[in-house]
Structure 1
Amino acid sequence: MARSNTRDEILAAAARQFAAAGFKGTSLHDIAVEVGCSKAALLYHFDSKEAILTELCAPAIAELAELDTRLTALGPESARVAAIEGFVDLVMRYRKEIQVIYGDLPALLEQPAFQHVQLMTQRLQECLAGSSATLTTQVAAKIVLAGVSATAFACTDHSDEDLRPALIEAAGRILAPLE
């Protein structure tokens, strides 16, 4: 009789494996061994390694889409504040998934389930940079996106309650005032 939580165990093991070895560096066999099941049992629950990754990241991608939608209805200054706070909250909530995505970003963006993530991230960057979109403001926006993500999963020695406001304040400092 199959364990009822095998699917969840597969997702948890995949998250750990992807975070440690990257998406490309993790095999279905690695995940199956950690779960204690056969590769065939794993494939019963998921069609492929890509399907595991897609399901793992689906909640984070859905929240990114919600943030993207919210930002379109706001003016430039309100959108920037909402973008900073929304992105920090998203990263804090999905640290492992973000670590996996950033670890193998070029390869992952080629996966069908992640193609729209690149567009949403571009719109988020534009919201952070503002309408002037000089090279300096574009670079600052990219630093905020990459820096918030990297810092969130590197600062495990700080509580979320302490880290969140520090990330928001630092992001605001990096970005030039909107014109």
Structure 2
Amino acid sequence: MTLDAPHAASRPTTSDELRAIALEQFASVGFAGTSLQQIADAAGFSKSSVLYHFASKEALLQDVITPAIDQLEVMLDRFAGASDPAKGRARFVDDFIDFLLRYRLEVHTFINQGQSLRGIPVIDRAGRLIVRLSETLCDETASTEDRLRLGIALGGAAYTLVAGATFFEDEIAPADEIRTALLTVVTELLAPVTVATGPRTDRNQKA
């Protein structure tokens, strides 16, 4: 055994490289705007090499998105099973920040492109989990403001983490500072500050 063996063993595989390139392309260019040829070119492989590892672009999308969706489902199950709702919510928000930081490209892809990618099984599964997340954090008494806060917390945080370098013309801040700031902002956004009272008024009903 040589001293180089551990480094060789830890080298990313071709599949890993293709996943990383595809995820970057899906998040930045969009799934519809990305072709297998573009992924192959960016990775330095032939299109046939991509198809050797992944049967289709949809299969590649499923492979790169599924780990994030699996983790979100685990978090929601843990939140739903919490004996103390307040503590469970606080832990969920804390876990959710780490989730966003780890899976920012995946979250950006399935939240911000979800509407246009309906019908793709992995995206539909993500959509069902987002609905479940909404129902868990915002029950039937939640106001319109609470629901808007949830949407902004999810979509806004994902967008900012992905587009931050462009939006701010540089890195937003050191990683630990970003996490602290995200925790503060998302906690505030997900805190139920209003409660809808009484029946909802039909928008077409005349005063």
TM over 0.5: yes
State the TM-score, normalized to the length of structure 1: 0.86
State the TM-score, normalized to the length of structure 2: 0.75
2-structure distance, mates of 1:152, 1:31: 22
Size of the aligned set, in residue pairs, is 176
Match among 90, 93, 106 for residue 99 of structure 2: 90
- Greater relative contact order: 1 or 2 (C-alpha under 8 angstroms, separation 6 or more)? 1
User: CA RMSD for the aligned pairs?
Assistant: 2.2
1-structure distance, mates of 2:72, 2:31: 21
Deviates further, 9-18 or 46-55? 9-18
* 1:129 matches 2:138: yes
Q: How does 1:22-37 map to 2 (within 5 A)?
A: 22-37=30-45
Q: For the structure 1 residues 66 and 17, does the alpha-carbon distance in structure 2 shift closer, same or farther, using more than 3 Å as the test?
A: same
Once the two structures are TM-superposed, the CA of residue 177 in structure 1 deviates from its matched residue by 4.2
2-structure distance, mates of 1:171, 1:157: 16
State whether residues 77 and 178 of structure 1, in contact with CA within 8 Å, keep that contact through their aligned partners in structure 2: no
* 1:64 matches 2:79: no
Match among 9, 12, 19 for residue 27 of structure 2: 19
* 1:50 matches 2:58: yes
1:113 aligns with 122
What is the percentage of aligned positions where both structures have the same residue?
32
1:81 aligns with 90
Q: How does 1:161-172 map to 2 (within 5 A)?
A: 161-172=176-187
State whether residues 79 and 127 of structure 1, in contact with CA within 8 Å, keep that contact through their aligned partners in structure 2: no
Once the two structures are TM-superposed, the CA of residue 131 in structure 1 deviates from its matched residue by 5.3
1:77-122 deviation per Cα after TM superposition (whole angstroms, max 9, x unaligned) = 2333233222221110112222322342213342112222212212
Once the two structures are TM-superposed, the CA of residue 30 in structure 1 deviates from its matched residue by 0.7
1-structure distance, mates of 2:163, 2:35: 25
Greater helix share, structure number: 1
1:159 aligns with 174
Aligned to 1:12, what secondary structure does the other structure show?
A: helix
1-structure distance, mates of 2:127, 2:174: 29
1:176 aligns with 192
